[in-house]
Amino acid sequence: MLELTGVESGYGETRVLHGLDLAVREGSVHALLGRNGVGKSTTLKTAVGHLKAVSGAVTFLGQDVTGLPPHVVARKGVAFVPETRDVFGALSVRENLELAGRLAGANPAWTLERVAEFFPNLANRMTNGGHELSGGEQQMLAIGRALMQDPKILVLDEPTEGLAPIIIQQIFAKLKELKASGLTLLLVEQNLNFALGLADDVSLMSRGRIVWRGDAAALKADEEAHVRWLGV
C-alpha cells in the first residue's frame, strides 16, 4: 500500500536515509523499530511528504507520491501523527478536529460525532483550548485529527511517548480497534511490547537502512535481533 524504494533523505547536506526499502501491506500494522537516532522519524517524514527524498521513490496505492507536498499526500489518504503531536493550543478541540476534516473527501467515514464517540475523553473537552489538554488528551486529539482526514493509512510516530501507563493502555486499545476495522497502520514505537502487541510486520532500522524484517512472532523469538538492533 505504502512503499519506499531506495529512499535517500535527510536534512540539508546531511543524509540520514541511505537507500531505505519499506513496504506496508494494506490492512496490516507495520512497526518500524530501532535505536535512538537511526532515522525512524526521518523515514516517516519522508513517507508523508514532510521531507523530500533526495533519491528513490515513495508510492502509495501504486501512485508515485515522491516529493508531493504533505497536504496533497494527506488528501490521498495518508494521515500523520507526528511525535510533537502539533495540537493547535489556541484553537478549541472542536476547531482542531474541524480543521483536519478539511483534508477529507466527500462523505467521510469519520465525522466529528464519530471521533467524539471513539474518544469519549475528547467529547467532554470539545470547547476547551488545545493548550488545556493533558498529554494523553493531546495524543487522542492528534489521532482524532488524523482520523478526521478519513485516512487509508495512519502513520504514527511514538504515540506513547511521555504518557502514563493507564493512558498508554487506552491508546493501545484504540489502535487495536482501528486495526480491527481494517485501517492500515505504520507505527514507530520505543515501547516494544506495545509495538509487538499490535504489529503484523516489523522492520528494524539501523543507520538509515532496514537491517531486519519479519513478522512480530519472528521478532519475539529472535533475541539476537533484540540485543543487536534494539539494545533490549
The site for Mg ion (CB under 5 A) is made up of 40-41
Cα separations (Å) of 177 from 50, 89, 108, 183, 212?
Answer: 27, 28, 18, 9, 28
Task: Give the binding-site size for ligand ATP (rule: CB under 6 A).
Answer: 11
Min dist CB 43 to ligand ATP, Å, is 7
Q: What are phi and psi of 100, to 5 degrees?
A: -65, -35
Min dist CB 114 to ligand ATP, Å, is 31
Candidates 6, 11, 25, 54: give the one binding ligand ATP (CB under 6 A): 11
Q: How many CA atoms lie within 13 A of 139 on its CB side?
A: 20
Min dist CB 175 to ligand ATP, Å, is 19
Min dist CB 20 to Mg ion, Å, is 14
Contact call for residue 46 and ligand ATP (CB under 6 A) = no
Candidate ranges 9-17, 53-61, 93-101, 132-140; the one touching ligand ATP (CB under 6 A)? 9-17
Contact call for residue 149 and ligand ATP (CB under 6 A) = no
Minimum CB distance to ligand ATP smaller for 84 or for 124: 84
x/- mask, ligand ATP, residues 108-137, rule CB under 6 A, reads: ------------------------------
Q: Which of residues 18-37 bind ligand ATP (CB under 6 A)?
A: 34, 36-37
C-alpha cell at 198: 499490535
Concatenated DSSP letters for 43-76? HHHHHHTSS--SEEEEEETTEE-TT--HHHHHHH
Asked if residue 15 lies in contact with residue 43, where contact means CB atoms within 8 angstroms, the answer is no
Contact call for residue 16 and ligand ATP (CB under 6 A) = yes
Min dist CB 34 to ligand ATP, Å, is 6
Alpha-carbon Rg for the chain in angstroms: 17
Q: Give alpha helix (H) positions in the chain.
A: 40-48, 70-76, 93-101, 112-118, 120-123, 135-148, 165-180, 192-198, 216-221, 223-225
Contact call for residue 227 and ligand ATP (CB under 6 A) = no
What residues does 115 pair with on adjacent strands?
none
C-alpha cell at 108: 467521510
Q: Which residues bind ligand ATP (CB under 6 A)?
A: 11, 14, 16, 34, 36-42
